[in-house]
Chain A
Amino acid sequence: MQSVDDFKLFFENELSDKLDELEVPRKQAVRQSILLILIILTCIGGGIAGFIAGQMIISIACGVALIVSAIVLGISINKKVKYIKKHYKDGVIRPIVHYVSPELSFSPTDYISQSEYNASKIFLTGVDRYKGDDLVQGKIGATSIRFSEIHSEYKTKDKDGKTQWHTIFKGIFFVADFNKHFKGETFVLPDLAEKWFGGLGKMMQKANFTRPELIKLEDPTFEKHFVVYGTDQIEGRYILSPKLMERITELRTKAKKISISFINAQVYIAINVRKNLFEPPYWSSMKKFELVEEYYAYLLLCVNIVEELDLNTRIWTKE
């Protein structure tokens, strides 16, 4: 596996020129944005002044100037932003994906489908809006993996009839083949009830009707962070071997909040990430190594899940 120093070298040799190239339109776009803001402020000021002085002609002129400049500059800025985004994904993110593993392909506009998201049954709240991008897929050893950014939301209406959007999940959604056969469904979810309510929480988990049976496992560290539900007590334990429990606990320290489900011979992992990943920055420089390194770290985290969860070990009857 490559080290951070190796990646720094890669950054300097392979990405630096592309980033320099993209910095030019970004700086232009930023300058145009500032110009547009200044024009808007001046026009509003001029418009108000004209109105107070009773010179309607000035107000109208200011209004026309505002609209024209907003359209002209807006189109130009928008074009540049689109150009930057496209070339950032093709020229920066894609090489990083290939650097992580040449076996992987990257499609900036594709994402894990909503039907697959629903099939994972990790989130049971009905989805009203579903978005995603940056799909990475390929084979790591014997295991096929796929992951992308996903943002799912539901809506409510407040008392004035205004629609409000609430996030169900935002982050990376990961799907891979699992290395053992199984028929039922097993869920490993973050343990919130027990953390907050202790023994009472355990009782609440038992009475959770939206999930199958509670499976109590023997690893105390694992139990502290996760709650496990499954359709079959033995199958749940067959999947969650002592080793895998340790590995999932380990993964949690890196990925913070994760939820996992084992359904249809697949393992689904939802990793919560607040920010929008794999996007070029607009107001600050793209050449910051830390930002690119962060994207790289997330890619590496996902690809390493295969190793972390030992999915390539095929000593069981599933080939």
Chain B
Amino acid sequence: MDPLYIVLIAVGVVLLIIIGIYNSLISRRNQVDNAFASIDVMLKKRADLIPQLVNTVKGYAAHESALFEKVTKLRAQVKEVGLHSNERIELENQITQSMGQLVLVSESYPDLKANENFLNLQRNISEMEEQLSAARRAFNASVNDYNNGIEKFPSNIIAGMMSFKRKPFFELPKTSRADFEKTPEVNV
């Protein structure tokens, strides 16, 4: 066979491999964006629960107003920051904590605890948190996949050429993680 053909075939094969690796990196990156979009949807849904929660608790526990203001302010702030930024993650984590505190407050108000609306809300919040936790884990799994792709040989060469960077995980603050992953006590 003509040496020229051999060289051409070799080049063709190498090109195909490069295209394959490049495409897989792109789909991993898109997967990360996609997963973050799902987190975003959950976060927005959760943010919509805040006014309801504040209004319900307010009727029974008026003097917790500092907490109401804090959580309302956080909600407004989140709307202003960029979609996938560390600031956003930080703010969302604070919201998680404040909402947790708001629900905890109910412990000292028996009337509130018996309120049908509040019980419903409490269920909605635990549902939300559970879904959020799932979305966060899905996001972290795709980030892990993506990071593996840009660090493992040989795809790291192509990732380097395309200047793909490692992406950060969506971490939770240590304190709230424990709250998150234990089953809350709810009397139904």
Contact = CB atoms under 8 A, between A and B. Distances in A.
Interface of A: 180, 215-218, 233-238, 241-243, 310, 313-317
26 contacts: A215-B141, A216-B145, A217-B137, A217-B141, A218-B137, A218-B140, A218-B141, A233-B141, A233-B142, A234-B38, A234-B135, A234-B138, A236-B134, A237-B135, A238-B131, A238-B134, A241-B134, A241-B181, A243-B181, A243-B182, A314-B188, A315-B123, A315-B126, A315-B184, A315-B186, A316-B126
Given A315-B186, A316-B126, A316-B127, A241 B38 contact: no
A189 to B, nearest CB: 18
The 8 closest A-B pairs by CB, nearest first: A237-B134, A238-B134, A315-B186, A233-B138, A237-B137, A316-B127, A234-B138, A315-B126
B54 interface: no
B124 interface: yes
Interface of B: 35, 38, 122-124, 126-127, 130-131, 133-135, 137-138, 140-142, 145, 181-184, 186, 188
Contacts of B141: 215-218, 233
Given A243-B181, A316-B127, A237 B186 contact: no
Given A233-B138, A234-B38, A316 B130 contact: yes
Contacts of B127: 180, 316-317
Interface centre among B123, B134, B182, B184, by most A CB within 10 Å? B134
Contacts of A235: 134
A180 B130 contact: yes
B123 A316 contact: yes
A241 B133 contact: yes
A317 B124 contact: yes
A257 B134 CA distance: 26
Given A243-B183, A316-B123, A317-B123, A237 B188 contact: no
B140 A241 contact: no
B183 A313 contact: yes
Contacts of A233: 35, 138, 141-142
Contacts of B182: 243
A313 B127 CA distance: 12
Contacts of A217: 137, 141
A307 to B, nearest CB: 13
A216 B131 CA distance: 17
B129 to A, nearest CB: 10
Given A241-B181, A310-B183, 8 more contacts: A180-B130, A237-B133, A238-B131, A313-B183, A314-B188, A315-B122, A316-B123, A317-B124
Nearest to A237: B134
A26 B185 CA distance: 54
Nearest to B133: A241
B22 to A, nearest CB: 19
B130 A238 contact: yes
Nearest to B183: A313
Contacts of B137: 217-218, 237
A47 B130 CA distance: 78
Nearest to B135: A234
B20 to A, nearest CB: 14
Contacts of A314: 188
A267 B127 CA distance: 19
A313 B133 CA distance: 18
A212 to B, nearest CB: 14
A241 B130 contact: yes
A144 to B, nearest CB: 17
A218 B134 CA distance: 11
B24 to A, nearest CB: 12
A123 B170 CA distance: 36
Contacts of A218: 137, 140-141
A176 B145 CA distance: 34
A234 B38 CA distance: 8
Nearest to B122: A315
